[in-house]
Structure 1
Amino acid sequence: MSKLLWTPSKERIEQTNMFRFMGEINQRFGKNFQTYPELHQWSVDNIADFWTVLWDFVGVKASTSYTQVIDDPAKMPGAKWFEGAKLNFAENMLKYRDDQLAIVFQGEGAEPVRITYAQLYDQVARLAKSLRDMGVKTGDRVAGFMPNMPQTVMAMLAAASIGAIWSSCSPDFGIKGVLDRFGQIKPKVLFTANGYRFKGKDLDSLEKISGVVNQLPSLEKLVVVPYTQERADISALPNAIHFQDFISREDGLEIEFEQLPFDHPLYIMYSSGTTGLPKCMVQSAGGILVHHLKELVLHTDLKREDNIFYFTTCGWMMWNWLTSSLGVGATIIQYDGQPFHPDAEVLWKMAQDEKVTVFGTSAGYIAALMDQEGQPGKHYDLSSVRAVLSTGSPLSIEGFEWVYREVKEDLQLASIAGGTDLNGCFALGNPMGPVYAGELQCRGLAMDVAAFDENGQPVINQQAELVCCKPFPSMPIYFWEDPDGKKYHKAYFDKYPGVWHHGDFITVTERGGVVMYGRSDATLNPGGVRIGTAEIYRVVENFEEIADSVVVGQNWDNDVRVILFVKMAEGQALTDDVINKLRAGIRQNASPRHVPAKVIEVPDVPYTLNMKKVELAVKKVIENKPVENTDALANPQALDFYKDIPELSK
């Protein structure tokens, strides 16, 4: 049984948006729901009614109302949402034009930049006019190769106001990684900063961008945003213009928000691309709008007075998710730089100084802070923080306990999980509910999430495949250059026809929470029994001698054996004693099947640019299979260490 870590007070529950929303459902439909599980069950049984109330509750701004919410709640893929509605995503993000702060930008080692809602509207209006004047139209692609900074948000909103489609990568992507993405979607305009900051160094982006623009014949304009230099030399870059020279100088402009169908494209997002060219997933303006507002307003309990921070780059869906907080009128806090420079707790100092109320980060960041014995709650005043969000990979039980011990006792820790594909979550936080160690609090409202066994049957308290049995509005509307929909169908619907198969391994608990175990395609199968890697990582993370690890299954003697690769902490050696303790710990805390057949030391562990371990790439290398797209990795050279390891041949 999971350990109970936190329960919200009755007063706190009754102040949540979720509680108000439940009251709205009770009033409209004659219900008497008192708990989240009741509300969730009703929401998946009454998809159309749920989204009708949600639309009103979050105040969607539309010039034309919808004729029906969904044409067929049993149809997946292909259900049509909010037909007849005309709206604009950017208009919904810019409902407020007052002097409240919209964005606080903290660049590494720099003074914060503060932008009000009135200033943001003005900047977007001027940028949108410039884009229109150069010929950007509805359906054109506008891309960003940008740090997580205000001008990235402005460019996205300006593009969306016209009905252009936005797509972005962060500046740590390599040239091939950028071209693998933007080369497919053929942008008309590309925004780039002249550089970015990391670990106290100014890094140049223009040399890299020169290798990109020369291979993007669709590009008509390269807009260079000042960051590391006030006015960099861009004379060698074709069609380049400084941001200051591109943005209109007219004052008092009103934005012409194109009124577009609910399913008009807004974003193109990308799969990780570690198994070939990244898939280009096209997501709708209306779908992203209502899905994000559901997650922010209800599950995150976001309100106008909140200051919300998420540590992210523009190459990760959490950037899009954070930016949608503007639709609530909250203040978004952006950080660009290395999160451990100049010290391990720099983000928590920022949380103190900016009175952050919702602090979002990754499980990897929390694990790294634990390794460094961080104690942010002791060193900083975190009285403003009421919620910590964690995603990117499963947060260990020890990670949960560390947050309550070293950050703050009275807060909601919401471990959240979903994917780039839906630009949102399947399981996430419930501000009305308790927090149990290692467990995501709930499945999302109107998300018919289940764990399917190998026979396609839902199971409780068993590890199985994450599926969603009913459609949801943020599903990709299509994949780019996939006219017959074959790639789209293969990605999600081949395994269980009519049911979204996500490729994660989960347990749904008897109380409706979710435990995540990582990718099911990286699942280990020793003796034909499927086990997740998360349980092994959880044990390994408790060993101070080990800095990092990656687990894979190796095909061996008509079976699969578990191989554990470990990166030792500085000054530590992989001795027989450490190996024996590891195996004993895994046997005791996981199961005998989890015990690795081999424990092998490596100098580094490979990660994607979004800081996810690439178990599949390691598995391919040890099986002498090609890894097709190493540009999707943050440290591709790490894979070299896994080639031709003698121990794996015996």
Structure 2
Amino acid sequence: MAKCLWTPSEERVQQTNMYRFMQVVNDKFKKKFNGYDALHEWSTDNLEDFWATMWDFAEIKASKPYDKVIDDPTKMPGAKWFEGSTLNFAENLLRYRDDKTALIFRGEDKVRRTLTYKELYDETSRVAASLKAAGIKPGDRVVGFVPNMPESIIAMLAATSLGAVWSSCSPDFGIKGVLDRFGQTKPRILFTADGYFFKGKVMDSMEKIAGIIQELPSIEKIVVIPYVSETPDISVLPNAVLMDDFKADAPQEIEFEQLPFDHPLYIMYSSGTTGLPKCMVQSAGGVLMHQIKELMLHTDLKKEDTIFYFTTCGWMMWNWLTTSLATGATLVLFDGNPFHPGPDALWHMAEEEKITVFGTSAGYIAALKAAGVKPGSNFNLSSIKALLSTGSPLSREDFEFIYDEVKSDLQLASISGGSDLNGCFALGNPMGPVYSGELQCRGLAMKVFAYDDDGKPIVGEQGELVCTAPFPSMPIYFWNDDDGSRYHSAYFETYPGIWAHGDFVEVTERGGVIMYGRSDATLNPGGVRIGTAEIYRRLEQMEELQDSVVVGQKWNNDVRVILFVTMPEGQTLTNELMGKIKKDIRQNASPRHVPAKIVQVPDIPYTLNMKKVELAVKKVIHGQAVKNKDSLKNPESLDFFENIKELQN
């Protein structure tokens, strides 16, 4: 049974934005809601009323009001949101122009810089003026190959203030990985930095940028941000200019281009491990509304907060974090390795910057625990009110680690969604309790269920995560998908008219959600589907192991579970340890979860966003080609999984 780890006090509940929003709904619609469940049910049954109320609650800046919230709440895909309205995404994020700190930048090289909201507006205005002078107009693509630093946000805001479409990759992407993304969308302007820092080393980007530009003839200008050098040599890059030389001389009023609600804002990319990445185009209004709902209500973000998320510009959490500017909060941007110079580096930062909302990945939390770090004992973390985790399922033990070793009085919000929607299906509820291993709730106005194989909603059992009603941040289309066939096949083939996300989940009796991993990576021994998360949960408790990946191998007209493990340096997988692993999984998961084979390998493949690539491993052991290894952080690791003799019998 899941253990209740935290319950907010009544005083804390009544101070939340969620509670205030609930009172607005009660007053406006003559309701008497006193908890999340009733509010959620109302929001999914009354999409139009919910989103209209959210528009007012968030004080969305629009030059023209909407005629109708949604044209057809039963249409998916293709529903039209807030038709008639005109707005600008960047204008909503730059609504404050005061002397409050907007951005704190912490580079791994000990750099610390701050920008106020006024300075952020002024800097954005200078870049926007230069982009306009370069002929950038609505619909043009402007891209960033950039570290997570203030100039990246400034470039995005400047581009979107003109109605340009923004897209970004982090500088640890390989040349082919960048070309697989930007090459599809033909950008006109590229923002980049001369390099970045990682584990104390300077990583020069100039040679990589030169290689990218050779294959991207659409690029008319390269704007280089000096980071690892004060005066980088940009002579190797055609049509390149330093950021300071590119910007207009003086700040000015930004003429925010007023555009329809569904004007394209971002192009987001799928991981691309099974072919060219999907280019998902999302709307300015849709992203703004969806993310501001999640930040204000589910994260309880307020102007006095300081929010941090450990992310790169190649992950949707960067986009999500950036929208926090619309609330007037202070954003902490970190670029580098979170374990440099030591495993407690981010907690030093959390103490120094008085971070109130600390966001990271489940992988980071597991690594922190494995390293024996006890942040709550070594740092003053009294400012932290919420800790967010995403990227992969957070185990029950890691939930308990947070409350035991970080802080006992905080909201731990494990959140899950994806780049596809630039947001979440299930996430935090600041008015509700936290149970071990469980995401607190399904998002407001998100009609999310677990479906069985017959397409029926189930509770307390594992099934396919689906969403049965439209939401504003759905992609408006995929790039180069004129007939919509790729978009349709990505989400709507399994259950027509219903979004199937590809996650294997359980909706609990109390309305929480347990994540079991990607449904295309679920195991099917004996015809019974089981999630990999339950196995990983057990393995994470074993100090003898360094890392692992679990896949299903087709065998004798069935599927058998194969476990690959990496060992600490100098250690070898023994029969004794294999026996211990099998016994633990049998006793604490089920006999079906027990691996048929356990094989030691030198490395485990991860995407650039640090997600395990089970599907690629599965392909390799079945002799199938992995088409796009450039989406992997360590593509050479896949070589270890070819022709493994232990899998031949």
Tell me which interval the TM-score lies in, with the shorter structure as reference length: over 0.9
Alignment of 1:478 onto 2:477? yes
Amino acid at match of 2:595: P
Give the TM-score, by structure 2 length: 1.00
Give the equivalent residue in structure 2 for 1:272. 271
Q: Residue 288 of structure 1 contacts residue 473 of structure 1 at CA under 8 Å; is this kept in 2? A: yes
Give the equivalent residue in structure 1 for 2:304. 305
- RMSD in angstroms over aligned alpha carbons? 0.5
| SS class of match (1:546) | coil
Q: Distance in 2 between matches of 1:554 and 1:93?
A: 48
| SS class of match (2:530) | coil
| SS class of match (2:129) | helix
Q: Distance in 2 between matches of 1:109 and 1:634?
A: 22
Give the equivalent residue in structure 2 for 1:519. 518
Amino acid at match of 2:121: Y
Give the equivalent residue in structure 1 for 2:347. 348
Give the equivalent residue in structure 2 for 1:147. 147
Q: Distance in 2 between matches of 1:121 and 1:180?
A: 33
Give the equivalent residue in structure 1 for 2:123. 123
Amino acid at match of 1:461: G
Give the equivalent residue in structure 1 for 2:220. 220
Give the equivalent residue in structure 1 for 2:406. 407
Q: Distance in 2 between matches of 1:144 and 1:109?
A: 21
Q: Distance in 2 between matches of 1:469 and 1:236?
A: 52
Q: Distance in 2 between matches of 1:347 and 1:298?
A: 26
| SS class of match (2:151) | helix
| SS class of match (2:18) | helix
Q: Distance in 1 between matches of 2:505 and 2:378?
A: 36
Q: Distance in 2 between matches of 1:25 and 1:108?
A: 45
Alignment of 1:49 onto 2:43? no
1:33-44 superposed matches below 5 A: 33-44=33-44
Deviation at 1:576, TM superposition (A): 1.2
- C-alpha distance after superposition, 1:278-316 (max 9, x if no partner): 000000000000000000000000000000000000000
| SS class of match (1:521) | helix
Q: Distance in 1 between matches of 2:68 and 2:287?
A: 18
Q: Distance in 1 between matches of 2:396 and 2:435?
A: 9
Give the equivalent residue in structure 2 for 1:638. 637
Give the equivalent residue in structure 2 for 1:210. 210
- C-alpha distance after superposition, 1:385-436 (max 9, x if no partner): 0100000000001110000011000000000000100000000000000000
Deviation at 1:214, TM superposition (A): 1.1
Deviation at 1:366, TM superposition (A): 0.2
Q: Distance in 2 between matches of 1:43 and 1:589?
A: 38
| SS class of match (2:458) | coil
Q: Distance in 1 between matches of 2:360 and 2:169?
A: 19
Give the equivalent residue in structure 2 for 1:173. 173
Amino acid at match of 1:217: P
1:325-364 superposed matches below 5 A: 325-364=324-363
Q: Distance in 2 between matches of 1:122 and 1:32?
A: 45
Give the equivalent residue in structure 2 for 1:111. 111
1:349-428 superposed matches below 5 A: 349-428=348-427
Alignment of 1:494 onto 2:490? no
Amino acid at match of 1:203: M
Amino acid at match of 2:185: I
Q: Residue 544 of structure 1 contacts residue 569 of structure 1 at CA under 8 Å; is this kept in 2? A: no
Alignment of 1:98 onto 2:98? yes
Give the equivalent residue in structure 1 for 2:597. 598
Deviation at 1:109, TM superposition (A): 2.6
Q: Distance in 2 between matches of 1:142 and 1:38?
A: 43
Give the equivalent residue in structure 1 for 2:576. 577
Q: Distance in 1 between matches of 2:216 and 2:570?
A: 47
Deviation at 1:79, TM superposition (A): 0.2
Amino acid at match of 2:452: D
1:447-458 superposed matches below 5 A: 447-458=446-457
Give the equivalent residue in structure 2 for 1:61. 61
| SS class of match (2:583) | helix
Deviation at 1:369, TM superposition (A): 0.4
Q: Distance in 2 between matches of 1:257 and 1:113?
A: 27
Q: Distance in 2 between matches of 1:199 and 1:27?
A: 54
Amino acid at match of 1:343: G
| SS class of match (2:202) | strand
- C-alpha distance after superposition, 1:510-558 (max 9, x if no partner): 0000000110000100000000000000001111000100000000000
**Which consecutive aligned stretches of 4+ in structure 1 deviate over 4 angstroms post-superposition?**
none
Q: Distance in 1 between matches of 2:516 and 2:124?
A: 41
Q: Distance in 2 between matches of 1:257 and 1:334?
A: 25
Q: Residue 386 of structure 1 contacts residue 412 of structure 1 at CA under 8 Å; is this kept in 2? A: yes
- C-alpha distance after superposition, 1:561-582 (max 9, x if no partner): 0000001123432111111111
Give the equivalent residue in structure 2 for 1:250. 250
Q: Residue 103 of structure 1 contacts residue 150 of structure 1 at CA under 8 Å; is this kept in 2? A: yes
Amino acid at match of 1:586: I
Alignment of 1:323 onto 2:327? no
Amino acid at match of 1:139: G
Give the equivalent residue in structure 1 for 2:531. 532
- C-alpha distance after superposition, 1:91-113 (max 9, x if no partner): 00000000000000000032310
Deviation at 1:250, TM superposition (A): 2.0
Give the equivalent residue in structure 1 for 2:502. 503
Amino acid at match of 1:641: F
Q: Distance in 2 between matches of 1:235 and 1:574?
A: 52
Deviation at 1:248, TM superposition (A): 0.6
Q: Residue 545 of structure 1 contacts residue 573 of structure 1 at CA under 8 Å; is this kept in 2? A: no
Deviates more, 1:234-243 or 1:437-446: 234-243
| SS class of match (1:43) | helix
Give the equivalent residue in structure 2 for 1:622. 621
Q: Distance in 2 between matches of 1:235 and 1:537?
A: 49
Give the equivalent residue in structure 1 for 2:196. 196
Amino acid at match of 1:331: T
Q: How many positions carry a matched residue from both structures?
A: 649
Amino acid at match of 1:242: L
Give the equivalent residue in structure 2 for 1:11. 11
| SS class of match (1:159) | helix
Q: Distance in 1 between matches of 2:586 and 2:262?
A: 50
Q: Distance in 2 between matches of 1:79 and 1:42?
A: 20
| SS class of match (1:143) | strand
- Which sections of structure 1, spanning at least 5 residues, go unmatched? none
| SS class of match (2:587) | helix
Amino acid at match of 1:282: V
Deviation at 1:236, TM superposition (A): 1.6
Alignment of 1:236 onto 2:212? no
Q: Residue 189 of structure 1 contacts residue 221 of structure 1 at CA under 8 Å; is this kept in 2? A: yes
Q: Distance in 1 between matches of 2:282 and 2:249?
A: 32
Deviation at 1:57, TM superposition (A): 0.3
Q: Residue 274 of structure 1 contacts residue 628 of structure 1 at CA under 8 Å; is this kept in 2? A: yes
| SS class of match (1:158) | helix
Q: Distance in 2 between matches of 1:378 and 1:112?
A: 25
